[in-house]
Amino acid sequence: GAVVSQHPSRVICKSGTSVKIECRSLDFQATTMFWYRQFPKKSLMLMATSNEGSKATYEQGVEKDKFLINHASLTLSTLTVTSAHPEDSSFYICSARAGGSQETQYFGPGTRLLVL
Amino acid sequence: DAKTTQPPSMDCAEGRAANLPCNHSTISGNEYVYWYRQIHSQGPQYIIHGLKNNETNEMASLIITEDRKSSTLILPHATLRDTAVYYCIVRVATSGGSYIPTFGRGTSLIVHP
């Protein structure tokens, strides 16, 4: 299957700092990328959908000024957690899809964020 | 809101077939059934998907009932590495109008020696 990478795999930061997470589709062009977060022993929760070259669409309850998403190219999307707080500590997972809604989504390995 | 119902947990002996059921009684005619699994602390891994016909690949088989209201994922010879949470999902529309998988709680499968 297609490969999606994330960097970093884990990050620890101080409260108030910003953290950027990268998501790359390695062997295909991703017209759409998705960002999820997952708390311990919980399921994945969709945060936002981004299409290359356009603004991300955020799910209800997700602060777009807090979680900045940039999908600058067909192989790269970034999620920046701004002014991180301990409650932002979570497992962040991206996924990418090559074409339309009938196409399969492939997921990255996830980034574990710990805010102290 | 997940549109699928799965048992919260199952267990299976190594080498035996693991049959994971899923109910999706409100599925629409053009919605696919997808199966993913998530091993602890990793991103979800795509397994298989189908619309109405049964499907098989190198990982698993997917059996979809004729009325499409339920399906079963079959791992023919489960190994310890198949221990994971298995998600059965049908795509639902996001607030942006895109159709994407929405994850429910899944089934925690434990394969024991």
Question: What is the model's pLDDT at position A97?
Answer: 87
Distances (CA, A) of A7 to A25, A59, A112, B27: 12, 23, 10, 36
Mean pLDDT of A88-106: 85
The distance of A15 to chain B (nearest Cα, Å) reads 23
Residue A32 in tokens:
């759409």
For an interface test with B, give the residue of A23, A46, A90, A97 to mutate (most B CBs within 10 A).
A46
Please, which residues have CB within 8 angstroms of residue A34's CB and are 6 or more apart in sequence?
Answer: A46, A48, A49, A50, A94, A95, A96, A97, A105, B100
Q: What is the 3-state secondary structure (H, E, C) of chain B?
A: CCCCECCCEEEEECCCCEEEEEECCCCCCCCCEEEEEECCCCCCEEEEEECCCCEECCCCEEEECCCCCEEEEEECCCCHHHCEEEEEEEEEECCCCCEEECCCCCEEEEEEC
pLDDT in tens, A36-78: 999 988 999 999 988 888 889 999 999 999 999 998 899 999 9
Nearest Cβ partner for A107 among B43, B95, B98: B43
Nearest CA in chain A to B35: A104
Question: What is the model's pLDDT at position A100?
Answer: 62
